[in-house]
Structure 1
Amino acid sequence: MKGIRFDWRLKDGIAGPGNLIVLLAVLFCFPLVLRATGALALSSIGPQDSQHTPALLRFCFVVAAFLWICFAIALFGIRIRGTSSFQDVIGRTWNSWQAVTRGVGAVLLTLVAMFAVGNLSNTFLAPFQHDAAATRAMVAYNTTEALAFLVLALTAGFVEEFVFRGYLQRQCQAVFGNTVLASALQVALFVQGHFYQGWIRLIPVLLIGALLTGVALWRKSLIPGMIAHGLGDSLVALPYLIRQL
Structure 2
Amino acid sequence: MSLVLFVALVVHLAVVSPLLGRRTYAALQADRSRYTRTFLAWIAELWGMAAVALLIVGLSPDLDLVDLGLTVPTDLSTFLGMITGLVIASVVVALVMRKSGAAMPGQAAFEALVPRSGGERWMAVAMSVSAGVCEEIVFRGLLIAMFTSMGAPRPVAAGLALALFVAGHLYQGWKGMIMVTLAGFSLTMVYFSSGSLVLPIVIHILVDIRSLLMARPAARPQPPVREVVGGGAA
User: Following the alignment from structure 2 to structure 1, what is the Cα–Cα distance between the partners of residues 84 and 185?
Assistant: 17
1:19 aligns with 2:13: no
Q: What's the counterpart of residue 92 of structure 1? A: 71
Match among 26, 29, 35 for residue 16 of structure 2: 29
CA shift at 1:224, angstroms? 0.3
User: What aligned pairs does 1:146-185 form with structure 2 within 5 A after superposition?
Assistant: 146-185=121-160
CA shift at 1:81, angstroms? 1.5
CA shift at 1:174, angstroms? 1.8
Query: What is the TM-score of this pair, normalised by structure 1?
Result: 0.73
Q: What's the counterpart of residue 222 of structure 1? A: 197
Q: CA RMSD in A?
A: 2.9
Where 1:198 maps in the other structure, the secondary structure is: helix
In structure 2, the CA distance between the partners of 1:39 and 1:203, relative to structure 1 (3 Å rule), is: closer
User: What aligned pairs does 1:127-206 form with structure 2 within 5 A after superposition?
Assistant: 132=109, 135-206=110-181
In structure 2, the CA distance between the partners of 1:147 and 1:237, relative to structure 1 (3 Å rule), is: farther
1:103 aligns with 2:82: no
Where 1:164 maps in the other structure, the secondary structure is: helix
Residues 158-187 of structure 1, C-alpha deviations (whole Å, 9 max, x = no match): 000000000001111122331111111110
CA shift at 1:237, angstroms? 4.6
Structure 2 gaps of 5+ residues are 98-102, 216-234
CA shift at 1:43, angstroms? 1.6
Q: Contact 2:57–2:63 (CA<8 Å) still a contact in 1?
A: yes
User: Following the alignment from structure 1 to structure 2, what is the Cα–Cα distance between the partners of residues 92 and 75?
Assistant: 14
Where 1:92 maps in the other structure, the secondary structure is: coil
- Count residues in correspondence: 204
User: What aligned pairs does 1:55-134 form with structure 2 within 5 A after superposition?
Assistant: 55-94=34-73, 99-107=75-83, 132=109
Q: Contact 1:147–1:237 (CA<8 Å) still a contact in 2?
A: no
Q: Percent of aligned positions with the same letter in both sequences? A: 26
Q: Contact 2:49–2:138 (CA<8 Å) still a contact in 1?
A: yes
Letter in 1 for 2:151: F
Where 2:174 maps in the other structure, the secondary structure is: coil
User: Following the alignment from structure 2 to structure 1, what is the Cα–Cα distance between the partners of residues 168 and 206?
Assistant: 19
Query: What is the TM-score of this pair, normalised by structure 2?
Result: 0.76
Higher Cα Rg, which structure: 2
In structure 2, the CA distance between the partners of 1:225 and 1:35, relative to structure 1 (3 Å rule), is: closer
Q: What's the counterpart of residue 10 of structure 1? A: none
CA shift at 1:92, angstroms? 3.4
Q: What's the counterpart of residue 4 of structure 1? A: none
Moved more, 230-239 or 162-171: 230-239
Moved more, 185-194 or 26-35: 26-35
CA shift at 1:73, angstroms? 1.2
CA shift at 1:103, angstroms? 1.5
User: Following the alignment from structure 2 to structure 1, what is the Cα–Cα distance between the partners of residues 142 and 86?
Assistant: 21
